[in-house]
Amino acid sequence: MHSTDLRRGLERREARLAWWLVTPAVGTILLVALFPLAWTLWESVHLHDLRMPWLGRPFVGAGNYAEALGDPRFWSALGHTGFFTGISVTIELGLGLVLALAMNRATRGRTLIRAAVLVPWAIPTVVSALLWRFMFDDQAGIVNVVLGTIGLTHEAIVWFIRPDLAWVPVIVSDVWKTTPFVALLLLAGLQNIDAGLYEAARIDGASTWQQFRHVTLPLLKPALLVALVFRTLDSFRVFDLIYVLTGGGPGTSTEPIALYTFNSLLQNLRFGYGSALSVITFGVSFVLAATYLRLLGRDLTEAKS
């Protein structure tokens, strides 16, 4: 009797201590994650324009959201973001897979190759964007020189003033920079596959393609999905790369949603409208992440059973 009381008291004290111990962590999360989110939500339902203080700071309900939905620049920014994400992630996954398979085959200098492959990924985005900007410069850039030398073009292409061609440097530099990340992720996945499975497949008379199709791909699916989730969410928030390379131009034809939000929020100082844009971006990313996580979760459980 006495001892159970003591134990209960101890448990209670331990529970209390545990709460005290997690308080800083929970508090920090509330402070750095939830508080800004709540604040942004609050801003997004108010008219708050630092440049027009005479308008005050009235509550406008869904007014900012309605403005965004009726704003062609918002829709085209969303479209650009989707376009950029779709194209670059597809290329990155394809190329990354090829690279990973090649690296998996390499027997000599594997560590060196892996380190070398990581170099583009290690360069800060702003630096690599500037690098590509110089390479695609119409006057002195190497891209035009190469295209001219091999006879593909007769005149220098001014990449950044064509709404279609301006995407080329953007996508090329993103692919160059992030394919290594995908490749390494997939390489890890490949190395987890039991070599015995290939042996068994060979004994059963499977061709290389059949081995790839029926052994490698299914077992690599979790790694592929992880790469897909990371790259999609990353691309969806693309900002620095395009900010440096094209500034969203020509006109606004390469402007992604993050750049438009930045512009409204920090250039035009429209806190209300900019916050509404941020909330929408957050919402779309959240839905994307949730969808992927469901896919990923199901796949992981399937793989286990």
Partner 1 sequence: MLAASCGQAPPSGATVVTFPGSMLGGEGAVLRAQLQRFMREHPNIRVVQRDTPDAADQRHQLYVQWLNAEASEPDILQLDAIWTPEFAAAGWILPLERFNPDTNAFFPVTIEANRWQRRLFAIPWFADVGMLYWRTDLMPRAPTSLGELEQEAARAKARGLRFGLVWSGARYEGLVTVFLEYLGAYGGQILEGGKVVVSSPAGLQALTTMQDEIYRSGIVPSSVLTWHEEETRFAFQNGDAAFMRNWPYPYPIMGDGAVSRVAGRFAVAPMPAASNGAPTAALGGAQLAINARSENPAAAWAVVDYLTRPEQMLERARVTGQFPTRRALYDDPALAKSLSVPVAQAREIIEHAVPRPVTPVYTELSEILQVQLHRVLTRQIDPARGLARAAAEMQALLNRAGLGPGTPLAQH
Q: Which amino acid is at 194?
A: D
| 247 contributes a contact to partner 1 by CB under 8 A | yes
Beta bridge partners, 22, equal none
Which is nearer to partner 1, 117 or 170 (by Cβ)? 170
Q: Determine contact, residues 85/288, Cβ cutoff 8 Å.
A: no
Bridge partner list, 49: 270
Report if residue 63 touches partner 1, rule: CB under 8 A: no
| Whether the Cβ atoms of residue 277 and residue 257 lie closer than 8 Å to each other | yes
Q: Using the 8-state DSSP alphabet, how is residue 270 labeled?
A: B
Kindly write out the interface string for residues 1-30 of this chain, putting x where it contacts partner 1 by CB under 8 A and - elsewhere.
Answer: ------------------------------
Largest CA distance in the chain: 96
Q: How far is the CB of 139 from partner 1 (least distance, A)?
A: 6
Pick the closest to residue 187 from 104, 261, 78 (CA basis).
104
Interacting span for partner 1 (CB under 8 A) from 1-9, 85-93, 160-168, 169-177 = 160-168
Nearer to partner 1, 26 or 266 (CB): 266
Name the nearest CA neighbour of 218 among 238, 190, 255, 195: 190
How many residues make up the chain in this entry? Answer: 305
Q: How many residues bind partner 1 (CB under 8 A)?
A: 27
Number of other residues whose CB lies within 10 A of the CB of residue 290: 10
Task: Give Cα 74 to chain centroid, integer Å.
Answer: 20
Q: Does residue 269 touch partner 1 according to CB under 8 A?
A: yes
Q: C-beta of 303: minimal distance to partner 1 in Å?
A: 48
Work out whether 217 is an interface residue with partner 1 (CB under 8 A): no
Figure out which of the listed residues 26, 52, 112, 145 binds partner 1, where binding follows CB under 8 A: 52
Spatial separation of the C-alpha atoms in residues 124 and 117, rounded to whole Å: 15
Of 107 and 139, CB closest to partner 1: 139
Q: Is 202 in the site for partner 1 (CB under 8 A)?
A: no
Rule CB under 8 A: is residue 111 a binding residue for partner 1? no
Residue number with CB closer to partner 1 (120 or 249): 249
User: Which among 259, 281, 279 is positioned nearest to 268, based on CA atoms?
Assistant: 259
Using CB under 8 A, pick the residue from 8, 57, 110, 162 that binds partner 1.
162
Site for partner 1 contains 250 (CB under 8 A) = yes
Q: Which residues bind partner 1 (CB under 8 A)?
A: 49-55, 73, 138-139, 158, 160-163, 247-253, 263, 266-269
